[in-house]
Structure 1
């Protein structure tokens, strides 16, 4: 079983890595992949504990671990059985990371496509290129209203995109789940506290993504989330359990 000291060693190693958030995420996935399911869950539990206790390296690395569970699952053996094993181990903080359910609200796919077609007459290829390359902030703001995830993905790599606009994209309601998930997948933007907060409080975000964001929130965010009836119940319950466990992840 992964001990707290072993978890600290792993956290220190990942925290010392240089490079992008994607590099750290893939390194976190390798750490999880080389263990059996029981050890993997114990390691996750200890990292969550250390982050909630306010240890800075753990607060920085936890996001890489939770992102790896969603984006690198194919490289983690037994990923599908981790929730069941966490429940057997009574590691609720880990089991919570694998909750799946429909979003609390969902914009009809046909209605979203119709709205896109009404607002934008250009071809999809043109919209993708424009989203990625435009220098005009007004055009970029319009691109942020598109429901097509391919357009959103290109907008997210535009160097002129601002955090304020990404927060607006993350908080947009009504919304399709796909563009919200694209924001979560973005290494450049997911590290921003305001972006995480906008995503997790959006009732159109799929809970399977939301539960991977909740442990990254600070105590005041958790308190607000636990009381917010507009979000999925699984997120409120997860926030309440983390609060009951004590500790706080600092704002970043």
Structure 2
């Protein structure tokens, strides 16, 4: 893919004011390309990001969020095949999977909301709009993705709340599914790092997020007690390709 294609992709993505708009535009743009072209384009951007180019790293966050959100889509599977066949290693690092995969876990019970009966999903979604902290604490333990999605949109929810959610062990599928579809929270470094350090996070989520880690974050992943071997190996590879750089002086969606 010519460099002007990567430059245009980066320029358009960074011109959009919101991370959700960026992910949506990227999804639509890639759908217009042949799979091989899309793979080459993303690989070029990934290579620039690994060299710590600031604008490329910010654009790479959009790529990571798209790959996390659409992890089970046929398109992402085709990208993985192209990356492996063509040895597009920078893209392959975001898409690689080890043998075995994530283990399925039974979902936790619905919390007791004090009504004397189990509330319906609709009733719990309504509660998820509540400003009441005691209610929010219970909702953080709710197993239903629709309830959690409503909760993540509650303006009273804090980053600390979401970090606690991402740190939960075992990490149930509803939490993974909901956070994967929530750019508002997934763009936050603490939330991403918490997911990376949680051994229950599937590789379909952790591998793309690893690509936008800073060097200190990669070191945390490498030295994490519970870091899966495949994730640790990928983090070491990225460390080898990511020499220390001065701290950025401008804010971005990566911060």
TM more than 0.5: yes
TM-score band, normalised by the shorter chain?
A: 0.7 to 0.9
- Secondary structure of 2:207's aligned partner: helix
Change (3 A) 1:244 1:158: same
Shift of 1:34: 2.8
Q: How far, CA to CA, are the matches of 1:185 and 1:106 in structure 2? A: 20
Distance change (3 Å), C-alpha of 1:248 and 1:77 = farther
Q: Separation in 2 of the partners of 1:72 and 1:122? A: 31
Once the two structures are superposed, the pairs formed by residues 36-55 of structure 1 within 5 Å of their partners are 36-55=34-53
- Could you tell me the TM-score, scaled by structure 1's length? 0.85
Change (3 A) 1:138 1:124: same
Q: 1:70 to 1:244 in 2, by over 3 A?
A: same
Cα RMSD, aligned residues only = 2.5
Q: Work out the CA distance in 2 between the residues paired with 1:155 and 1:118.
A: 17
Q: What is the DSSP-based 3-state SS (H/G/I as helix, E as strand, rest coil) of the residue aligned with 1:230? A: coil
Q: CA deviation at 1:51?
A: 2.1
Number of residue pairs the alignment of both structures matches? 243
- Is 1:130 matched with 2:131? no
2:148 to 144, 147, 152: 152
Query: Which stretches in structure 1 are left out of the alignment for 5+ residues?
Result: none
| Residues 94, 208 of structure 2: 8 Å contact kept | yes
TM, length-normalised to structure 2: 0.84
2:191 corresponds to which of 190, 195, 198: 195
Match for residue 176 of structure 2 among 177, 180, 183: 180
Per the alignment, residue 164 of structure 1 pairs with 160
Give the match for residue 98 of structure 1.
Answer: 95
In 2, the alpha carbon distance for the partners of 1:77 and 1:118 equals 39
1:63 is matched with: 61
Shift of 1:117: 4.9
Matched, 1:221 2:217: yes
8 Å contact 1:152–1:179 — kept in the other structure?
yes
8 Å CA contact retained: 2:71, 2:204: no
CA contact (8 A) 2:111 2:138 kept: no
Asked whether the equivalents of residues 29 and 72 of structure 1 are also in contact (C-alpha less than 8 Å), the reply is no
Q: Tell me which residue corresponds to 1:16.
A: 15
Cα offsets for 1:172-229 (capped at 9, x unmatched): 1123122123112112111111111111111111211111111011111112212335
CA distance in 1, matches of 2:14, 2:219: 28
Unpaired runs of 5+ residues, structure 2, are 249-253
